[in-house]
Structure 1
Amino acid sequence: MADDKSGRDKQAHDEERRQREREIAAELERGDEAEPPVDASELAYFETELEPLAFPATGVEIVSAVGDREIESTVGTYAIADLVPDADGETFDSPDEIGVRIRRPTVAMAMKRVVEAGDGLPNAEMSRSQRDAYERTFRELAAIDADDDDEGIRVMADWIVERIDDRETIPGSRDVRRRAAKFCRANGYEVRNDEWLGI
């Protein structure tokens, strides 16, 4: 590969793609899921339905192609259109990446709301790292107490969407983590300083 700008850009893109693939593989191997898991065979069948799509694919393309397809989890049935943002700003690099997102339906629905709220802003764009931070915050809230009907996730998604609507800007991931920690402490959940929410 030539040592020029396009060669370096390709190397950086390839490394970023490999890093995302490693993160996806690590997520799939996680055994401490607080969210009721979607059956692996259900995900495998769904991923075969995505094969006709060219990846990377936007949320709009995915919802258009398979939005009415339903996925069953141990607590209910969800349409893909309820879990994947119908937004051009959300891009998925592979069917596996979509599978990781929909394994946690409550987190996926919260991310859908947040991404769709921010997608229409003219001067703000949510970076991939910011999306990842939001999603991790939602996962941490789900893990706080599996028996609380994921109230923290709904409260935080509401707060983020309200901030986007009121200020027409996307709140920083640190602000979201602080707000989530405040919610946890106000509801009697301990948040240590060495944890994700403990900032």
Structure 2
Amino acid sequence: MADDRSGRDKQARDSDRRQRERDLAAELARGDEPEPPFDAADLVDVESELESLTFPATGAEIVAAVGDRAIESPAGRYTIEELVPAADAETFESPVAVSARIQRPTIAAAMKRVVEAADTLPNTELSESQRDAYEKTFRALKAIDADDDDEGIRAIGDWIVERVREKETLPGSRDVRRQAAKFCRANGYQVRNDEWLGI
């Protein structure tokens, strides 16, 4: 492909298309999650407000641009700044990626706290795979106590943040899963060995 404007434009369009396909695949995979979704119209409005930003954009840029924007969900009313970390370490590839993140508000709020805590650590970066493992643990906790008040998500989020503050390091994803399994068993939830939390 030629290194000219049309070639770069095509690369940008292809990259955007691939990101949208990944986001769509992630959303389809999340479709079985028990947390109620936001109204589609609210998400479209948020995406259109984000069009003024240049993507990829950091969480801090998104919060600065639309952080006070309120959105309604069956679980309550949230602002973008409650769900997106105000940190340069978190990057979103497109407005669709932001929408995908905020569709699960309790998980998004827990991840926001974790990312912001990790952002305080010098010379430490929350890798994408580690971030995904943390989020998968929160999703597993949400699935276990879907009718509860998300106590497990808050407890494990608090545990991760405390570990970051006390030990000045990010706990490994295995440690997080192990702690989540301990929480579940202590509260009477069954955790099988073949499940994500079954360590």
Question: 1:27, CA displacement in angstroms?
Answer: 3.2
Structure 2: gaps (5+ residues): 3-10
> How far apart, in 2, do the equivalents of 1:42 and 1:190 lie?
36
Equivalent-residue separation in structure 1 for 2:38 and 2:26 (angstroms): 13
* More moved, 51-60 vs 35-44: 35-44
Q: How far did 1:194 drift?
A: 1.3
Question: TM-score, normalised on structure 2?
Answer: 0.88
Q: Which residue of 2 aligns with 1:35?
A: 35
SS of corresponding position for 2:72: strand
Correspondence for 1:7: none
Alignment of 1:66-105 (within 5 A): 66-105=66-105
Query: Structure 2 CA distance, aligned partners of 1:22 and 1:170?
Result: 30
Identity of aligned residues (%): 69
For residues 117-164 of structure 1, the C-alpha deviation after alignment (integer angstroms, 9 at most, x for no partner) is 110111211101111111111111111121111000000000000000
Gaps spanning 5+ residues in structure 1: where?
3-10
Q: d(CA) in 2 for partners of 1:121 and 1:68?
A: 27
Q: How does 1:132-171 map to 2 (within 5 A)?
A: 132-171=132-171
CA distance in 2, matches of 1:143, 1:136: 10
RMSD: 1.9
Q: Secondary structure in 2 aligned to 1:197?
A: coil
Separation (CA, whole Å) in 2 of partners of 1:44 and 1:133: 28
Matched residue SS, 1:72: strand
Q: Which residue of 2 aligns with 1:26?
A: 25
TM-score by length of 1: 0.88
Count of aligned positions: 187
How far, CA to CA, are the matches of 2:158 and 2:79 in structure 1?
21
| SS of corresponding position for 2:134 | helix
